[in-house]
Amino acid sequence: MNLKSYVTGAALGVVMAASAAFHGAAAADDTIKVGVLHSLSGTMAISETTLKDAMLMLIDEQNKKGGLLGKKLEAVVVDPASDWPLFAEKARELIEKDKVAAVFGCWTSSSRKSVLPVFEELNSLLFYPVQYEGEESSRNIFYTGAAPNQQAIPAVDYLMEKEGVKRFVLEGTDYVYPRTTNKILEAYLVSKGIPKEDIIVNYTPFGFSDWQTEVSKIKEFGSSGKKTAVVSTINGDANVPFYKELGNQGIKATDIPVIAFSVGEEELAGLDTKPLVGHLAAWNYFESVESPANKKFIKEWHAFTKNDKRVTNDPMEAAYIGFNAWVKAVQAAGTTDTDKVLDSIIGTTVPNLSGGYATVMPNHHITKPVLIGEIQADGQFEIVQETSAVVGDEWSDFLPDSKDLISDWRKPMNCGNFNVATGKCGGKGS
Q: Does residue 31 contact residue 73 with C-beta atoms inside 8 Å?
A: yes
Residue (of 255, 96, 290) closest to 88 by Cα position: 96
Q: Is the pLDDT of residue 166 over 50?
A: yes
234-288 confidence digits (pLDDT tens):
998 899 899 999 999 999 999 999 999 988 998 888 788 888 999 999 999 999 9
pLDDT, residue 427, reads: 62
DSSP symbol at 37:
E
| Mean local confidence (pLDDT), 206-222 | 96
pLDDT, residue 10, reads: 37
Q: Is the pLDDT of residue 415 over 70?
A: yes
Q: Is the pLDDT of residue 393 over 50?
A: yes
Q: What is the amino acid identity at position 168?
A: F
pLDDT interval class at 26 (50, 70, 90): very low
Strand 258-260, strand 349-351: pairing: unpaired
| Strand boundaries in 47-198, DSSP class E | 72-78, 102-105, 126-128, 141-143, 167-173
Fold agreement (31-147+293-368, 149-290+371-387)? yes
pLDDT, residue 236, reads: 86
Nearest-angstrom CA–CA distance, 135 and 180: 8
Q: What is the residue extent of each domain of the chain?
A: 31-147+293-368, 149-290+371-387
The topology under which CATH files domain 149-290+371-387 is Rossmann fold (3.40.50)
Q: Reduced to 3 DSSP states, what percent helix, strand and coil does the chain have, rounded to the nearest 5?
A: 40, 20, 40
pLDDT, residue 65, reads: 97
Q: Is the pLDDT of residue 72 over 60?
A: yes
Q: Which residues contact 334 (CB under 8 A, 6 or more apart)?
A: 69, 340
Q: Does residue 116 contact residue 88 with C-beta atoms inside 8 Å?
A: no
Mean pLDDT is lowest, of 69-73, 79-83, 242-246, for 242-246
Residues of the chain above pLDDT 70, percent: 93
pLDDT, residue 18, reads: 39
User: What is the architecture of the domain spanning 31-147+293-368?
Assistant: 3-Layer(aba) Sandwich (3.40)
Q: Is the pLDDT of residue 12 over 50?
A: no
Q: Is the pLDDT of residue 22 over 60?
A: no
| Mean local confidence (pLDDT), 314-325 | 97
Q: Which residues contact 161 (CB under 8 A, 6 or more apart)?
A: none
Mean pLDDT is lowest, of 16-20, 385-389, 406-410, 418-422, for 16-20
Residue (of 160, 146, 196) closest to 321 by Cα position: 146
Q: Is the pLDDT of residue 428 over 80?
A: no
